A and B are shown apart, each in its own frame.
Chain A
Amino acid sequence: MTDKSVAVQPAVSDSTGMAYLATVPHRVVTVYLPLAIFLLVLLFPFYWMAITTFKSNEELLNQREFSPFLVYHATLANIEKLLFRTSYPEWLFNTMVVAVSSTCISVASSVLAAYAITRLRFRGAQVTGLLIFLAYLVPPSILFIPLATMVYGLDLYDTNWALILTYPTFLIPFCTWLLMGYFKSIPYELEECALIDGATRLQILWKITLPLAVPGLISAGIFSFTLSWNEFIYALAFISSSENKTVPVGVLTQLVEGDVYHWGSLMAGALLGSLPVALLYSFFVEYYVSSLTGAVKE
């Protein structure tokens, strides 16, 4: 699949196909207008999140005098409340620790597994690869109850370890599958040369395969980080005390108090919690797209 798309893509980018046949007004109606509506709908919630963050309560709750789409008197009160009067900084720290540790564990074990499956070709390698792919199809929603009993049993309840050890269950299948695709695209001849020159297999992995698979490693790493940052159900089920929560769980369970919703600080929490992944995403867009589509195409 990878070879095929590489072979076909240049032909696509060189030629515009039959696009020159369409007139400008025709294109405005059939392409630009629908696309503008799509973008408006897809991006509006973020705009809404952002402007709510900087509004005071009286502005939010008075739609007669203040248009809801504008900010009249910008205020940092919501962010100040979030950072200094809630456990939000601790949640950010926890989420960072959990996401980084589980990403490192997952990428390291996936590299070894993908290398063994694609290059060492032990008996049953094909079947193992397929089983790992099937593991990706097991959703967390049917695992969290038995995992909760295990977490109680192992005395990990309410600790970061409960999350660091369980997140790899959905990260490893994804990363292994992705890296298998990358390893397969590296010419086997390079490794044969190194074998003839007397390199051990681990040296080959470390000095030849891994340097060539760096884009794959980056893809796997940032995607794992994002998935762990977004994870919700395990963090909700395995963590109970406020100071150990992650950002998504903390915002939803600690900032919603009674019947009065403090929309300003809630949206500030959502905005700040989204920023790290949004920043990471903006730097590595191409890697995200290739890992998303690569995993699907394989």
Chain B
Amino acid sequence: MAVALGRQAAPRRSFVELLDDRRVLSVLCMLPAVGLLVTFLAYPLGLGVWLGFTDTKIGRPGVFIGIDNYISLFDDSVFLLSVYNTLVYTIVATILKFGLGLWLALLLNNSMPFKAFIRAIVLLPYIIPTVLSALAFWWMYDPQFSVISYVLSKMGLIDRYVDFLGQPNAARASVIAANVWRGIPFVAICLLAGLQTISPSLYEAAALDGANPWQRFRNVTVPMLMPILSVVLTFSVLFTFTDFQLIYAITRGGPLNATHLMATLAFQRAIPGGQMGEGAAIATAMIPFLVFATVFSYYGLQRRKWQQGSADD
């Protein structure tokens, strides 16, 4: 059969055979994805590090100037402030997101009417474009017509409208609140998926042994949730640390640079400012923080699994 067909369609058959070779097919299958990722991800990552060592400006290729960008950044009070802001923003927002997100996940894990519907609308803040919901927050933080101030003054808690975005610390708290608002659903839905895999018999066994609700939470829920918690934490820290949209939409770094994050400062220096080299240096300066945060949150929390040597699945 194969011989008879082989004579008639020899070129086509050999092409099909070649295509069926595991190695050839592997290369062909990987080509589009790897090609795009190498060209538009790996290469720019290296290029960004290189640009940080040059004085490139928009429309003019730069020359190598060593670590001059980093030296000048170390004396730059705005850059140092942005590092401080980024750390405060990331740490405070992450703690709040995980505290409230875990609470919401525990609430959603109860059996109740309309459970699927409630779970669906909880995720809404995460789905809607960040910039567009940030605009709603900007409007709610308006110094004259803020609805939050309106409610607080009707309740008699304040006698003057709050200037949410005018004072440095108030502005920091405001953007953190907006970030937490958007992050809670993501954390809650991911942790809920983890909670649902914990067998109820574990709780029943613990209760029979005399564990109170707090002990059941501390000694059953938390350890069982740790693997998924560490992954969610890694993602959350990473995306909070490099956040750009929310700040750009609500404050653009103001007042007095009090809410500038490293990402927004890099953008401001590089694109409107034209100092590509300096912007790239700021962006590159984020990498060590990111590597540290990833390693810390992943291995720090997944200690047990990692020690048992089964992390390769």
A residues with CB within 8 A of B = 4-5, 8-9, 11-12, 15-19, 27, 31-32, 34-35, 38-39, 41-43, 45-46, 48-49, 52, 60-61, 63, 68-69, 105, 108-110, 112-113, 115-117, 120, 122, 125, 128, 132, 135, 137-150, 152, 165-166, 168-169, 172-173, 176, 200-202, 226, 229-230, 232-233, 236-237, 247-249, 251-252, 261, 263, 266-267, 269-271, 273-274, 277-278, 281-282, 285, 288-289, 292-293, 296-297
**B145 CB within 8 Å of chain A:** yes
Contact (Cβ within 8 A) A293 B189 = yes
Contact (Cβ within 8 A) B199 A12 = yes
Set of chain B residues within 8 Å of A145, measured between Cβ atoms: 48, 51, 266, 270-271, 276, 279-280, 283
One of B26, B27, B59, B242 near A142 (C-beta < 8 A): B242
Number of interface residues of B (CB under 8 A): 104
Q: List 30 A-B contacts (CB under 8 A).
A: A38-B107, A39-B122, A49-B135, A49-B136, A105-B32, A105-B36, A108-B32, A122-B22, A128-B34, A140-B244, A142-B283, A143-B41, A143-B45, A146-B45, A146-B48, A147-B40, A149-B276, A150-B40, A169-B36, A172-B37, A200-B19, A202-B20, A226-B127, A230-B129, A233-B267, A237-B271, A248-B132, A285-B123, A289-B123, A296-B231
Interface bits B70-111 vs A (CB < 8 Å: 1, else 0): 000000000000000000000000000000100110011011
Contact (Cβ within 8 A) A132 B129 = no
**B184 CB within 8 Å of chain A:** yes
One of B128, B139, B193, B248 near A263 (C-beta < 8 A): B139
**B66 CB within 8 Å of chain A:** no
Q: Tell whether A247 pairs with B267 under 8 Å between CB atoms, given A9-B197, A116-B29.
A: no
Set of chain A residues within 8 Å of B40, measured between Cβ atoms: 147, 150, 165-166, 168-169
Given contact pairs A49-B135, A143-B48, A278-B124, enumerate 5 new A-B contacts (beta carbons under 8 Å): A122-B22, A125-B26, A140-B244, A143-B45, A146-B48
How far apart are the CA atoms of A120 and B145 in the complex, in Å? 61
Task: Determine the residue in chain B with the shortest Cβ distance to A270.
Answer: B132
How far apart are the CA atoms of A8 and B78 in the complex, in Å? 52
One of B30, B129, B203, B283 near A128 (C-beta < 8 A): B30
A-B contacts, CB under 8 A, total: 308
- How far in angstroms is the closest Cβ of chain B from A238? 9
How far apart are the CA atoms of A237 and B36 in the complex, in Å? 20
Q: Tell whether A251 pairs with B131 under 8 Å between CB atoms, given A144-B267, A145-B279, A266-B139.
A: yes
How far apart are the CA atoms of A18 and B111 in the complex, in Å? 11
**B239 CB within 8 Å of chain A:** yes
**B121 CB within 8 Å of chain A:** yes
How far apart are the CA atoms of A236 and B22 in the complex, in Å? 43
One of A11, A172, A232, A236 near B33 (C-beta < 8 A): A172
Q: Tell whether A18 pairs with B200 under 8 Å between CB atoms, given A146-B51, A251-B132.
A: yes
Contact (Cβ within 8 A) A19 B139 = no
The listed residue with most B CB atoms (<10 A of its CB), out of A46, A113, A168, is A113
Interface bits B32-56 vs A (CB < 8 Å: 1, else 0): 1110110011111101100100001
**B245 CB within 8 Å of chain A:** yes
B residues with CB within 8 A of A = 16, 19-20, 22-23, 25-30, 32-34, 36-37, 40-45, 47-48, 51, 56, 58-59, 100, 103-104, 107-108, 110-112, 116, 118-125, 127-133, 135-137, 139-140, 142, 145, 147, 150, 181, 184-186, 189-190, 193-194, 196-197, 199-201, 203-204, 207, 228, 231-232, 234-235, 238-239, 242-245, 248-249, 263, 266-267, 270-271, 276, 279-280, 283-284, 286-287, 290, 294
How far apart are the CA atoms of A30 and B40 in the complex, in Å? 50
Contact (Cβ within 8 A) B135 A266 = yes
How far apart are the CA atoms of A147 and B42 in the complex, in Å? 11
How far apart are the CA atoms of A281 and B119 in the complex, in Å? 12
Contact (Cβ within 8 A) B33 A132 = yes
How far apart are the CA atoms of A158 and B132 in the complex, in Å? 22
Task: Determine the residue in chain B with the shortest Cβ distance to A204.
Answer: B20
One of A48, A63, A251 near B139 (C-beta < 8 A): A48
- How far in angstroms is the closest Cβ of chain A from B152? 13
4 A-B pairs closest in CB distance: A109-B32, A17-B200, A293-B193, A116-B29
One of B29, B136, B270 near A270 (C-beta < 8 A): B136
Set of chain B residues within 8 Å of A39, measured between Cβ atoms: 118, 121-122
- How far in angstroms is the closest Cβ of chain A from B183? 11
Contact (Cβ within 8 A) A274 B107 = no
- How far in angstroms is the closest Cβ of chain A from B43? 8
Contact (Cβ within 8 A) B128 A274 = yes
Set of chain B residues within 8 Å of A176, measured between Cβ atoms: 33
Contact (Cβ within 8 A) A11 B200 = yes
Contact (Cβ within 8 A) B56 A8 = no
Q: Tell whether A270 pairs with B51 under 8 Å between CB atoms, given A146-B44, A285-B120.
A: no
How far apart are the CA atoms of A43 and B125 in the complex, in Å? 8
- How far in angstroms is the closest Cβ of chain B from A194? 12
Q: Tell whether A42 pairs with B122 under 8 Å between CB atoms, given A31-B107, A150-B47.
A: yes
Contact (Cβ within 8 A) A5 B197 = yes
Contact (Cβ within 8 A) A48 B147 = yes
One of A137, A281, A293 near B124 (C-beta < 8 A): A281
